[in-house]
Amino acid sequence: MIILPPSNQAEMKKTIIITGATSGFGKAMAEKFAQNSHRLIITGRRVERLNEISDTLTKSYDIDVLPLSFDLRDRAASEKSINSLKANWNQIDVLVNNAGLASGLEHFQDGSFEDWDKMIDTNVKGLLNISKPVIDHMVKRNAGHIINIGSTAGREVYERGSIYCATKHAVDAISKGMRIDLLKHNIKVTQISPGAAETEFSVVRFHGDKKRAKEAYRGYKPMTAEDIAELVYYSTTLPSHLCINDLVVTSLSQANSFYINRDN
């Protein structure tokens, strides 16, 4: 491993935007990048939590953090938050498209348009709403790194998960397409596709039912948010000529969407 002298480390300070940093993977990523002295733009709808996280990171790590609270489903608000960034913030080096959710776990015939709209509007259209204005800046600078959080649900479709799986298959297709289209602009595109990790994800999926959420992780050791943060961070530390394109990651207890060893 090459240890850089402090002056070089300071020069390599990046501006990172992480969507969905009020909880789970996004919050853990914010902490990881903060520990490594990067400048952070963090987003989420829960403004109080967002501001609290921002204050804690600023104080703990002596870094610049800009909290931006908006709903990613609101295209105008998403574009405005990026397009109105001051010059000292708009040179974004890394965009982590992390915000997302599952809402409901029902057979197709029992599903609701309300749940479906929430997932499609957040996981697919929300990702586009923020990516477009950020990528416009990156193309101008001929540099940047987009990290999309996909899922094993983007590889296999499982029972009662059709629409969530469809949104993560869309993230897979968008990641591949972005990588091709941005090739000439020196912009890296990484997709990280985790299996089960214990965060607020299942509580949200089961509409606040914590008991049912806990049951999803019964009998095995799922990944943690910190595990995913490590991998996201690692993907940003590679030399400029290297890019992790696609990474599927599960805990040792999981083979894919279908097989989980609950006997340990």
Catalytic residues: 164
- The item of ligand NDP, ligand 8X3, none sharing an interface with residue 199, based on CB under 5 to 8 Å by kind, is ligand NDP
Check binding of 175 to ligand 8X3 (CB under 6 A): no
Cα–Cα distance, 168 to 191 (Å, whole number): 11
Residues 153-192 that bind ligand NDP (CB under 6 A): none
Residue of this chain nearest to ligand 8X3 (CB atom) = 151
Check binding of 20 to ligand NDP (CB under 6 A): yes
Check binding of 99 to ligand NDP (CB under 6 A): yes
Question: What does each C-alpha distance from 76 to 79, 89, 195, 231 come to in angstroms?
Answer: 5, 19, 32, 31
What is the biggest distance separating any 2 CA atoms in the chain, rounded to whole angstroms? 60
Interaxial angle between packed helices 24-35 and 47-61, expressed in degrees from 0 to 180 and rounded to the nearest 10: 20
Stretch that binds ligand 8X3, among 7-15, 21-29, 146-154, 241-249 (CB under 6 A): 146-154
Residues 21-80 that bind ligand 8X3 (CB under 6 A): none
Check binding of 197 to ligand NDP (CB under 6 A): yes
Q: State the minimum distance, in angstroms, from the CB of residue 122 to ligand 8X3.
A: 13
* 64, 71, 156, 230: residue in contact with ligand NDP (rule CB under 6 A): 71
Cα–Cα distance, 58 to 60 (Å, whole number): 6
What track of x and - describes contact with ligand NDP for positions 113 through 152 (by CB under 6 A)? Answer: ---------x---x----------------------x-x-
Check binding of 129 to ligand 8X3 (CB under 6 A): no
Residue of this chain nearest to ligand NDP (CB atom) = 24
Q: Which C-beta is closer to ligand NDP: that of 139 or that of 248?
A: 248
Check binding of 257 to ligand 8X3 (CB under 6 A): yes
Check binding of 152 to ligand 8X3 (CB under 6 A): yes
- The item of ligand NDP, ligand 8X3, none sharing an interface with residue 244, based on CB under 5 to 8 Å by kind, is none
Question: Contact residues for ligand 8X3 (CB under 6 A)?
Answer: 151-153, 161, 195-196, 257
